[in-house]
A and B are shown apart, each in its own frame.
Chain A
């Protein structure tokens, strides 16, 4: 719901909001330019002193205006109409003609009403309201996504566009909220819906002194008023003793008798006018140049937000499930309920739906929030759900637990829960566990204990399908094929083999783009000869022949080197690793690149602790190789035997020599007194504490067992600092690439 509230105005009014933001950003320069032109006011004149000085130089002066920037302008009547003159606020001496900027005047009207009159005020108001709704709903979405208000500033995760949207949004939120709120208010004032507190005018005093006018510099009320308090002083018509000075100050409006010098009928500003002026100042930054600039800078981020938001919406929409033969809830024998946040769970649900339908079942698949009160014919219910943030319900399951209160189960209805999550998070599949507990508490029977799928593993899902099929007495082949991006042909150019002697055959494989033999236009242009763009730490997806499901490997090189390098250990029965191991130089593969921006050392000079085991060294070695700025890097790596599977040994020694690598502590498990990588860490407790105290970043790459061991070792080491791996991870200082 919240997401819909966020995306709807974003999609409908995105262009309009962007237009208003950009015109507003341009206008935000005005207060600064005016402030700069006004110059610094030194001595503080009274209104009487300044007016006296102006009247001596400009005898026909009819009006003096002091703007929020401090600029003083005198209007005097000339033969050809009114002349506006700039006046030095410190001395009252005339500086020269004042000209309003036609560009800013044009932009102001464009921003305020798009030159559409009253209708334009509505349009501007809708833009401001959209901005307000987007800011508030966006803020609530970020809070929900990161798991609470206390975590609002924790590191955001996700694809580049998602992180860009969240990170930029967090920076500019307050400014955009302010612009939206004040803009909506000002539109309401322009439309006459809200009073600016200045409805009508103040009646001129009926009784005036009528005596001989005295010079303006001798008027007592003006002598008592410092220039900084002035907004506008209007002179009486020359030669009319019954006329009177009209004065507007910061605090109100009144009249000054030109003979007695007394302030007459002063009316202080009403509360609503004070409110209006506060909103006006906050929206325009007039008189507060830095605020104007800050709001303008924030407004420049709006196109970034609109663009990234649009892309996020589109990729979510493209992933909408396409269910065939979805039977009505009342007629189905099998129910599949889906709790999904980013739509990936729907892909698995679709595979299950298709598999069960193929096996002859009548299947109804729906979001968990659509839980009916009763399923008349159903005897089986599957709940497939992801977990959101810190164990919370994902988007399509947010109301499931409350709806469950009204649910009446048939006596023969049994269920199975399958959770989807990321094992590197503390609350792995927490919501799936909660749902199972709630269903059991409701008196339902589970025909299968809850399963868990780590990081969308298609293999684990297929295995769960086999087990489920055996339990239900039917073949259940679940083929979940995440949409594979377009692949490119790559050719193996070189391979180094390790670890055969220690039963861990591992190869470093280097691929390149096959040289084109055809002399077509694309070849001539150099197209198709280049590698797709990738960085060290990104993933390559390789689709082995005869399979629809890609396997991912971490990259040890970047595309700039012209070589795609991976490190692969042969898994017995592993379709893809066996295929890769059988390759000889010259053989071709089908591959695509998947960005993995969450696993990068980032910029800066702070030390990096890199920890890996086995093939996990590949991306770490890649980073170290490219560490030309000699950032301190401490590498901990675990292998089996230095004589057999010491991957990258020669290259790491070279890096140590030229300080691309500061320290290297390998640990080997199959030697006398063998040890694991986490033992190496524990042996260096003091060093690790020092480094983390200096703000070091930690990068871990390898199998999930090793990652768990490293986490617990680091928790022990860092306990005296009050740090945990979990907390470092939340603040973006602990990065994992675990498989």
Chain B
């Protein structure tokens, strides 16, 4: 197996596995195993074009850590996902293989991701930024601590992502 400097960078997509190389060096405490996640995002009902959103993780100090999924492939809309863009532009990184289509009103997106099990119950948080073309923009639409207790618990949001459930 080729040496991997960042085990958190291994993420699985629904259909094809792709590697994500993050430029932020995360010091893996001790021996880290990849923990598979199932993410379900329920979009609110509204009139208008599809929602695009980013699901990402922040460190205990609140700074950006890594991206789990980006819904919406038209990059010209990304600047409207403000906190995520701010984080990823400081940390750098690539979202090849962890992005898909934007999601229509009332629909549910289910994707698979993975992260290092050492991040659970370690002060990390899952965030969602969402926006709709010519509509609202929600930085921190959902914020949920990455704890074992939150697995399978539905967190509700104030923006276009109505509910988020992360199961691991």
Contact = CB atoms under 8 A, between A and B. Distances in A.
A201 B85 contact: yes
B86 A81 contact: no
A201 B89 contact: yes
Contacts of A192: 73-74
Interface string A110-126: 00000001100000000
A234 B86 CA distance: 13
Given A105-B48, A204-B89, A82 B76 contact: no
Query: Does more than half of chain B's interface fall in helix, strand or loop, or is it mixed?
Result: mixed
Given A204-B86, A204-B90, A246 B134 contact: no
B65 interface: no
Interface stretch (B22-30, B110-118, B136-144): B136-144
B40 interface: no
A118 to B, nearest CB: 7
Contacts of B153: none
A343 interface: no
Given A105-B47, A201-B85, A204-B90, A84 B136 contact: yes
B44 to A, nearest CB: 9
Contacts of A196: 76
B78 interface: yes
Interface in B122-164: 134-139, 158-159
B47 A81 contact: no
A75 B78 contact: no
A200 B82 contact: no
Nearest to B135: A100
Contacts of A80: 158
Nearest to A276: B76
Interface in A415-459: none
Interface in B28-52: 47-49
A108 B83 CA distance: 29
Given A105-B48, A237-B139, A201 B101 contact: no
Contact of B75 (A199, A206, A253): A199
A419 B89 CA distance: 76
B157 to A, nearest CB: 9
B159 A82 contact: yes
B75 A200 contact: yes
Interface string B55-86: 00000000000000000011110110011011
Contact of A198 (B47, B75, B101, B159): B75
Nearest to A253: B79
B49 A105 contact: yes
Nearest to B139: A237
A709 B76 CA distance: 72
A82 B136 contact: yes
Nearest to A240: B62
A246 B79 CA distance: 9
A202 B82 CA distance: 11
A206 B86 CA distance: 10
Nearest to B74: A192
A105 B104 CA distance: 13
A201 B79 contact: yes
A63 B158 contact: no
Contacts of B90: 203-204, 206
A36 interface: no
B101 A118 contact: yes
Contacts of A202: 79, 89
Given A100-B47, A246-B82, 8 more contacts: A82-B159, A105-B48, A192-B74, A198-B75, A199-B75, A199-B76, A202-B79, A234-B137
Interface of B: 47-49, 73-76, 78-79, 82-83, 85-86, 89-90, 101, 134-139, 158-159
18 contacts: A81-B159, A82-B136, A82-B159, A100-B47, A102-B47, A105-B47, A192-B74, A200-B75, A200-B78, A201-B75, A201-B79, A202-B79, A202-B89, A203-B89, A204-B86, A204-B90, A206-B90, A237-B83
In the A-B complex, list the 3 residue pairs whose CB atoms are closest, starting with the nearest.
A198-B76, A203-B89, A102-B47
